[in-house]
Structure 1
Amino acid sequence: MFVSYKWLEDYVDLEGIKPAELAEKITRSGIEVEAVEYKGEGIKGVVVGHVIEREQHPNADKLNKCLVDIGEDAPVQIICGAPNVEKGQYVAVATVGAVLPGNFKIKKAKLRGEESHGMICSLQELGVESKLVPKEYAEGIFVFPNDVKPGDDALQALQLDDAVLELGLTPNRADALNMLGVAYEVAAILGRDIKLPDTAHDTSSEKAADYISVKIEDQEANPLYAAKIIKNVKIGPAPLWMQTRLMNAGIRPINNVVDITNFVLLEYGQPLHAFDYDRFGSKQVVVRKASDSEIIQTLDEQERTLSSKHLVITNGTKAHAVAGVMGGFESEVRDETTTILLEAAYFNGQTVRQASRDLGLRSESSTRFEKGLDPQRTKPAAERAAQLISMYAGGEVLSGTVEENHLEASMNVIHVSTERVNKVLGMSISKEDMIQIFNKLGFTVGESNDVLVVTVPSRRMDITIEEDLIEEVARLYGYDNIPSTLPATAGTVGGLTPYQVKRRKVRRFLEGAGLSQAITYSLTNQHKSTAFALHPAYETRLSLPMSEERSVLRQSLLPNLLDSVAYNLARQADSFGFYETGSVFLAEAEGAKPVEKEHVAGALTGLWHKNLWQGEKKAVDFYVAKGIAEGLFEKLGVSDQITYVQAEREGLHPGRTADVHLNGQVIGFVAALHPVVEKELDLKETYVFEFDLTDVMTSETKDMKYTAIPRFPAVTRDIALVVDQHISSGQLERVIYEAGGQLLTDLSVFDVYEGEHMEEGKKSVAFSLQYLNPEQTLTEEEVTAVHTKVLKALENTYQAVLRG
């Protein structure tokens, strides 16, 4: 909404309040002023000039030599190329030394041998947008009406000395989509009175009812329709002050009648429409739903195909307007129009929005119907328009208004106690101050048993409940006046919870490992919602999804994370890793509320190390992904509770998948994607992991203990064991650690062999064992005893024998 400061002064006394200061006050009260535009900023030296003489330039066919009175001692000669310049016109003249938009300075010049002392200006040259310039002046200079005199300030005459405030209105503040609504708001903010327009006008002895009747077939879509008849209208330009106000508000002037309907639209917020009565084609207005495939030619001369969902204004047979959206071309007001049928109606916003969307037509009128109108202003707006048409178009207003009215307009009555207001706001505002605030807003206030009974005018449709009134008190009292308090006592020290500390450790570790954080949608489609889920669960579907692609809550982070991998690969990124920490949603029964758990997942592809100057390249593989997981568990202090078990999961490579167990419970997996899945998603070889972060970070951990660097040497023994192929090295490790006791301080696998020289169904696994006693040097007998115990345990548990 564009608000002219000078126009606003017609309704509220703004003395002592500059535009920027007013903008600040409006913003602080709850309506954001996005910008303040000073229309003539940077322009100077532009005056009204009177063209005394005009003749053809002697040396140029397209130039004119003009003698112009600019209010000085003698007229000046100006060379002008505008095709519409004529003797007797009053024009805007940039004098020598003037500055125009873009810091364009006017100097004395000589054009084709003739001196030029200034420039006769078009509106575009004075900073007015081309789309707002009246059509008759679109290709030439602007011509003033005859009520100006040479030497007057042209910017003032064109209201380019105005400031325009751009309001960023939220959908609930439709009351401020008009000048009177903004005036009520500003008057309340400043504590000043509001001056409403006088709509009184003379009427003829003839009755409008003798010329027109009104019939509404769909009373729900159109509860009120009022019509006025105005005769002997003379179509011409609107007065200059009205044209300039419309241009400052972003509307192009057309003619006096159309401009008046647009002016009242901006003033009252009530859309109006003027039909040429003689072209309307009958003495009745019938408001009905359109027939399917009914055709209407709208004002933009386009034929529109209607449906039975659209409301139209007809003459009983033919549609002449799409209600609330746009009028018809056939009955538009033209230069020869003499009698006006003026429409003022209240249309259902949903019906107007349906037609506007279906037809691809959005207008100032449809916007206001969609957001909601004040039903009490419909008929006053018609009277205001009739008054202005009689004043500026010579119209003769017939007595009476023809209407059909089924509108039940009532005001909201809301009860609120001062105690409730102060409790919500944390303030101590007196009852008298609250009553004063409501009175400033134009609300009526009564009292009943220490409770304020507030009657809200119909223009404030956003005020419906007690909390709305509390908000009004807060914003008019001043948000800056609400006392600030700390959310905790002075002795309370803020900090992260242990869980939050661990979450930060997870993110920092993974980023330190070279992965980039990704954030993906929690909503996905039905197919992806259960893919890669750690545990089976029921799906959680939205009741009203925006699309099928975002209709189900995810049970795993990986599907959307893999979409990110595919997106980046498609854009020539070949080596990278992503991780995400986020929630998954697991329902334990059909239709049950899901349990929200936090997971961490990662996906890696391409090269992990690339040192080209050394000729070294290392691609991502299973052990890179597993190494990141191990480092993460080490960072969280749960590595001693973690085991890896070979597994098979849908969508993952059957030979490169390991379930991760925490104290015997599955909490995640590390794996390579199945080649079929990689092909479906157009991925290269990709490795992934996903863990239940909630379980990991809430698991009990032992306190960290530091040990001294050993002063005594360790003893290393290597063994190669022959075991059945199905036995994993992890199973053997657990037996070795248990049998080795405290002397066994380190253990690692350094070789696995299967094939030639090995019995069928068997494999060789080689371990390096390190024994150490921190208190003394180990003897050969001590090491042999422990080592023999280890070998015996392996033999008894898995029939493992030393390889010969």
Structure 2
Amino acid sequence: MIVSLEWLKDYTDIKADPQEFCDRMIMSGSNLETMENVGSDMEKVVVGKIVKIEKHPDADKLVVCRLDVGQEEPVQIVTGATNVFEGAYVPVALSGSRIPGPLHGQPKKEGGVKIEAGKLRGVKSDGMLCSFGELGFTDKVVPVNQRDGIWILNGEYPLGADFAEALELKDSVIDFEITPNRPDCLSMVGMAREAAATFGEKVKHPENECKAEEGQASDYVSVEIKSDLCKRYVARIVKDVKVCDSPWWLQRRLIHAGMRPINNIVDVTNFVMLEYGQPIHAFDINSVEGRKIVVDTAEDGEKFTTLDGTERTLDDKMLMIHDAEKSIAVAGVMGGLNSEIENDTQTIIVESANFLGNSVRTTAKRLGLRTEASARYEKGIDPNLCQDAADRVCYLIELIGAGTVVGGRVDVYPTPEEPRTVKGRVSRINKVLGIEISREQMVSYFESLEMNVSGEGDDLYVTPPTVRQDIEMEEDLIEEVARLYGYDKLPVTIPKGNNEASQSYERDVKDLARDTMCALGANEIQTYSFVSPKGVDNIRIDEDSWERAFVKILNPLGEDTSVMRTVLTPAMLEVMGRNYSRNREAVRAFEIGNTFMVNLLDEKELPTESDAMSIGFYGPGEDFFTLKGAVEELLLKLGIRDLEFIPEKEYGTYHPGRCARIATKEMHYGPEGPEEELVELGIMGEVHPDVAEKYGIGTRCYAAELMMGVVTEMANLEKAYSPLPKYPATSRDIALVVDESMAVGDIEKVIASAGGKILKNIKLFDVYRGPQVGENKKSVAFALTYRHDDRTLTDEDVNKVHDKILKTLKEKLDVTLRDI
């Protein structure tokens, strides 16, 4: 919101200088972006009157002007402007003056441009006549009829007077950032209310009482609201309209607020919009068929040309203003070319209406047409402003002699907005802010913001004006007291309460999982939760699998983001495929994220959301066992022991001979006492070649997916103290030739069972397939570590247990010992 400080003084007394004003407003909660002093960067620019114009003797496009600038003798200035005429009052930059610039399309210079006397094509020129742009005004605020040529003043001014002072150009223009919860501050009256409360002054509301002739607006127009997207519609009538330029005071206010003056009628509506924050529109009554205003939605596919001359296609959700036969305006956005006010317009309808912000926002976005009016409607406007704003427009039209106001108004207001009352407590406000101020002081703060206060003792019943839509609860009242008391005056206190903070157990498990995978050389990835349903097809998930219980997106951007993911593996394979296509030789990656599934017991319930973790490897040296080792290391770090890898041949994503379900043992008590039960944690394996090919991975790749919810339940992050071993360990290696189909986990179970307490560790360190072991056979080699907790083991002790292990393997699994 651009605020002219001189304009703001029309509504409240401000004695502070611009810098102090800004500082105080910031401390009372206003967010200031920039401040600019305008009109103070002109030196020796005066008001002059052209008394004579002659042709230049040597240049067809130049003229020689003689001007009265209040000196004994007229000055002579050569100009190429085509809009000069004898008797015109103009800004004159005399020799030695300085103007903001820029000149002749050049970039604006720091410190402006100094003007010196000289000769143009042999004729003396004592300075220059100035345009709006040369005096520092941007093109967007230059009045329509002043875009080309010299600035021609509207009226008479003292000759030789300082130009900036004569036209009251000196001002401080402040740009405030208005937060979405304070649409009332998108107006001069709203900002005046804030300034008055900050400086302890009163608000002077604009005068809007019209003389008004006999007759009633209802004799000229009727209004019908057919859509609940319009809360209120006020119409007033002005006749005997005289369309012309606005007086300079009105143009100046608009220019300093960043708006271009158009004509007196349009300028008044824009002035009041800036003043009240209520957009106003005016229609030529002769273009309104049937003298009837109907507020309703457009027809789907309807064509409509707006005031900017652009034909736009409407839909049936866009709110429009119609007459008895056609559309005449896009409600809250822009009027139509077919009802535009022309120079010969005699009678106008003044519209002051309230439209729902969401509707205006959607319409403006779909049409690609955002205006000052739509920006205000989008944030929400108080419907109770409509009548005051309409009356103010009529008052100003009457004031500047632009028309005659007809009495009365047509006001359709189906459900009037009533003020709300919010309860606050003096003790609570003081406690939250850490201060001690009286009830009377708090009441004065609220009353300075034009809020009514009632109640006794500790209770405050505060009724804000309906423009303050942000005041809804006691915390809002506390904020109002805090900012008017002064944020800089609030004491610094240490918060009371328990300051101990801890992370959730689930977060601890995830953090340790991340650290472990990073230590194993893997990079963390993050992929979208919105995916394509084709992902589960690509990884060959069964048609009746729960992994197809998708949560569908109602308004997806496309099929690729039309459902919520049920598994992470497709995204992991997509990332590996992208890396492979870019010649990445090796990848180790993991992701921890949420998966979503329709509640299969009751689809009306909220979806089931679960944590999952995916892991993906490919590259030289990677195989099933390196992935298995990484999964084991991860789960062991999380305190999950007794892992089992159960072969799985029916899971379509993975190679049927290189896939395993990951499980751990859990003790529970059944009817016959303690029992062991397997708890599944996830699945892993070598990705099926057909699946890898779909993702463009031209090498063997490996993946795993863990159910992190179950992993978290089974995890044990408590560290139990275990003393360092006192006695040395002894190692033995064994290599066994077994059938290709035999699982290493089964062999490890037999070894552990036979090894007893002194067998401390079993480590698989080699798997060999080749002619030396025969067809459909493989060689697996283990390193076994033996140690006794109470004494040093002898070779005889170790050999005895080691021989028992070999014998048991032979008896139970029919393995063959291979020489190492």
TM-score band w.r.t. shorter chain: 0.7 to 0.9
- The Cα of 1:90 is off from its aligned counterpart by 3.3
Q: Are 1:725 and 2:725 counterparts?
A: no
Q: Are 1:736 and 2:751 counterparts?
A: yes
Could you list the per-position Cα deviations for residues 292-332 of structure 1 after superposition, in whole angstroms to 9, with x for gaps in the alignment? 66654432233455566555545533443344333232332
Could you say which residue in structure 1 is the equivalent of 2:615?
602
Q: How many residues align?
A: 787
Say if 1:235 and 1:393, in contact at 8 Å, map to a contact too.
Answer: no
C-alpha distance in structure 1 between counterparts of 2:2 and 2:756, whole Å: 82
Could you say which residue in structure 2 is the equivalent of 1:707?
724
Q: Are 1:15 and 2:19 counterparts?
A: no
- The Cα of 1:181 is off from its aligned counterpart by 1.7
Shift in alpha-carbon separation, 1:408–1:745, aligned structure 2, 3 A:
closer
- Whichever residue aligns with residue 652 of structure 1, its letter is Y
Shift in alpha-carbon separation, 1:64–1:469, aligned structure 2, 3 A:
same
- Whichever residue aligns with residue 677 of structure 1, its letter is V
Where 1:343 maps in the other structure, the secondary structure is strand
Equivalent runs, 1:635-784 vs 2, <5 Å: 636=637, 638=639, 641-648=642-649, 649-663=651-665, 664-683=678-697, 685=699, 686-693=701-708, 696=711, 698-699=715-716, 702-703=719-720, 705=722, 707=724, 717-741=732-756, 744=759, 747-754=762-769, 756=771, 758=773, 761-769=776-784, 780-784=795-799
- The Cα of 1:283 is off from its aligned counterpart by 4.8
Q: Are 1:144 and 2:153 counterparts?
A: yes
- The Cα of 1:47 is off from its aligned counterpart by 4.5
Could you say which residue in structure 2 is the equivalent of 1:35?
34
- Whichever residue aligns with residue 517 of structure 1, its letter is E
Say if 1:538 and 1:590, in contact at 8 Å, map to a contact too.
Answer: no
Could you say which residue in structure 1 is the equivalent of 2:806?
791
- The Cα of 1:788 is off from its aligned counterpart by 0.8
Could you list the per-position Cα deviations for residues 249-276 of structure 1 after superposition, in whole angstroms to 9, with x for gaps in the alignment? 3322111111111111111222222223
Q: 1:132 aligns with which of 116, 141, 156?
A: 141
- The Cα of 1:44 is off from its aligned counterpart by 5.5
Q: Are 1:195 and 2:204 counterparts?
A: yes
Shift in alpha-carbon separation, 1:88–1:582, aligned structure 2, 3 A:
same
C-alpha distance in structure 2 between counterparts of 1:510 and 1:503, whole Å: 11
Q: What residue ranges of structure 2 are gaps of 5+ in the alignment? A: 101-107, 666-677
Say if 1:553 and 1:585, in contact at 8 Å, map to a contact too.
Answer: yes
Could you say which residue in structure 2 is the equivalent of 1:612?
none
Give TM-score, length-normalised by structure 2: 0.82
- Whichever residue aligns with residue 5 of structure 1, its letter is L
Could you list the per-position Cα deviations for residues 137-191 of structure 1 after superposition, in whole angstroms to 9, with x for gaps in the alignment? 2233322223434554445566664333333333332222221122222222332
Where 2:384 maps in the other structure, the secondary structure is helix
Where 1:193 maps in the other structure, the secondary structure is coil
Could you say which residue in structure 1 is the equivalent of 2:173?
164
- Whichever residue aligns with residue 614 of structure 2, its letter is A
Say if 2:31 and 2:178, in contact at 8 Å, map to a contact too.
Answer: yes
Where 2:273 maps in the other structure, the secondary structure is helix
Say if 1:211 and 1:229, in contact at 8 Å, map to a contact too.
Answer: no
C-alpha distance in structure 1 between counterparts of 2:570 and 2:490, whole Å: 48
- Whichever residue aligns with residue 581 of structure 1, its letter is I
C-alpha distance in structure 1 between counterparts of 2:607 and 2:204, whole Å: 58
C-alpha distance in structure 2 between counterparts of 1:385 and 1:430, whole Å: 42
Which stretch shows the higher mean deviation, 476-485 or 194-203?
A: 476-485
- Whichever residue aligns with residue 113 of structure 2, its letter is K
Shift in alpha-carbon separation, 1:799–1:536, aligned structure 2, 3 A:
farther
- The Cα of 1:239 is off from its aligned counterpart by 1.9
- Whichever residue aligns with residue 10 of structure 1, its letter is D
Could you say which residue in structure 1 is the equivalent of 2:674?
none
- Whichever residue aligns with residue 232 of structure 1, its letter is D
Q: What residue ranges of structure 1 are gaps of 5+ in the alignment? A: 608-617
C-alpha distance in structure 1 between counterparts of 2:622 and 2:149, whole Å: 70
Say if 1:533 and 1:555, in contact at 8 Å, map to a contact too.
Answer: no
Could you list the per-position Cα deviations for residues 719-745 of structure 1 after superposition, in whole angstroms to 9, with x for gaps in the alignment? 332323222223323433443456556
Shift in alpha-carbon separation, 1:349–1:218, aligned structure 2, 3 A:
farther
- Whichever residue aligns with residue 590 of structure 2, its letter is Y
Say if 1:24 and 1:33, in contact at 8 Å, map to a contact too.
Answer: no
Could you say which residue in structure 2 is the equivalent of 1:84?
83
Say if 1:214 and 1:404, in contact at 8 Å, map to a contact too.
Answer: no
- Whichever residue aligns with residue 675 of structure 1, its letter is P
C-alpha distance in structure 2 between counterparts of 1:154 and 1:574, whole Å: 75
- The Cα of 1:12 is off from its aligned counterpart by 1.8
Q: Are 1:267 and 2:268 counterparts?
A: no
Where 1:721 maps in the other structure, the secondary structure is strand
C-alpha distance in structure 1 between counterparts of 2:530 and 2:39, whole Å: 51
Q: 1:184 aligns with which of 193, 201, 221?
A: 193
Which stretch shows the higher mean deviation, 246-255 or 546-555?
A: 546-555
Say if 1:416 and 1:466, in contact at 8 Å, map to a contact too.
Answer: yes
Shift in alpha-carbon separation, 1:409–1:142, aligned structure 2, 3 A:
same
Shift in alpha-carbon separation, 1:677–1:9, aligned structure 2, 3 A:
farther
- The Cα of 1:218 is off from its aligned counterpart by 2.3
- The Cα of 1:459 is off from its aligned counterpart by 1.9
Where 2:338 maps in the other structure, the secondary structure is coil
Could you say which residue in structure 1 is the equivalent of 2:525?
518
Q: 1:375 aligns with which of 383, 387, 391?
A: 383
Could you say which residue in structure 2 is the equivalent of 1:615?
none
- The Cα of 1:439 is off from its aligned counterpart by 0.9
Could you say which residue in structure 2 is the equivalent of 1:320?
328
C-alpha distance in structure 1 between counterparts of 2:71 and 2:695, whole Å: 80
Shift in alpha-carbon separation, 1:504–1:310, aligned structure 2, 3 A:
closer
Say if 2:2 and 2:258, in contact at 8 Å, map to a contact too.
Answer: yes
- Whichever residue aligns with residue 691 of structure 1, its letter is L
Equivalent runs, 1:6-405 vs 2, <5 Å: 6-19=6-19, 21-39=20-38, 46-68=45-67, 77-94=76-93, 96=96, 98=98, 100=100, 101-103=108-110, 104-108=112-116, 111-114=120-123, 116=125, 118-155=127-164, 161-204=170-213, 206-209=214-217, 212-216=220-224, 218=226, 220=228, 222=230, 224-280=232-288, 283-285=291-293, 287=295, 296-304=304-312, 309=317, 311-349=319-357, 352=360, 355-357=363-365, 359-404=367-412
Say if 1:106 and 1:119, in contact at 8 Å, map to a contact too.
Answer: no
Say if 1:539 and 1:553, in contact at 8 Å, map to a contact too.
Answer: no
- The Cα of 1:11 is off from its aligned counterpart by 0.9
Say if 1:123 and 1:133, in contact at 8 Å, map to a contact too.
Answer: yes
Where 1:375 maps in the other structure, the secondary structure is coil
C-alpha distance in structure 2 between counterparts of 1:314 and 1:545, whole Å: 32
Say if 1:26 and 1:186, in contact at 8 Å, map to a contact too.
Answer: yes
- Aligned identity (percent) is 37
Please report the RMSD computed on the Cα atoms of aligned residues, expressed in angstroms.
4.2
- The Cα of 1:662 is off from its aligned counterpart by 3.8
- Whichever residue aligns with residue 665 of structure 1, its letter is V
Which stretch shows the higher mean deviation, 683-692 or 134-143?
A: 683-692
Q: 1:460 aligns with which of 468, 489, 492?
A: 468
Say if 1:223 and 1:407, in contact at 8 Å, map to a contact too.
Answer: yes
Could you list the per-position Cα deviations for residues 753-786 of structure 1 after superposition, in whole angstroms to 9, with x for gaps in the alignment? 4454656654332334455679988655344323
- Whichever residue aligns with residue 590 of structure 1, its letter is D
Could you say which residue in structure 2 is the equivalent of 1:611?
none
Could you list the per-position Cα deviations for residues 59-115 of structure 1 after superposition, in whole angstroms to 9, with x for gaps in the alignment? 444444444555667665544343334444333445535253432432535554455
C-alpha distance in structure 2 between counterparts of 1:120 and 1:625, whole Å: 83
Give TM-score, length-normalised by structure 1: 0.84
C-alpha distance in structure 2 between counterparts of 1:391 and 1:258, whole Å: 15
Shift in alpha-carbon separation, 1:726–1:179, aligned structure 2, 3 A:
same
C-alpha distance in structure 2 between counterparts of 1:802 and 1:567, whole Å: 45
Could you list the per-position Cα deviations for residues 321-377 of structure 1 after superposition, in whole angstroms to 9, with x for gaps in the alignment? 344333232332222233333233344555555654554443323343444333333
Say if 2:553 and 2:563, in contact at 8 Å, map to a contact too.
Answer: no
Say if 1:532 and 1:558, in contact at 8 Å, map to a contact too.
Answer: no
Could you list the per-position Cα deviations for residues 578-619 of structure 1 after superposition, in whole angstroms to 9, with x for gaps in the alignment? 4333444576843556676544433345x5xxxxxxxxxx46
Say if 2:551 and 2:596, in contact at 8 Å, map to a contact too.
Answer: no
Say if 1:243 and 1:253, in contact at 8 Å, map to a contact too.
Answer: yes
C-alpha distance in structure 1 between counterparts of 2:446 and 2:133, whole Å: 45
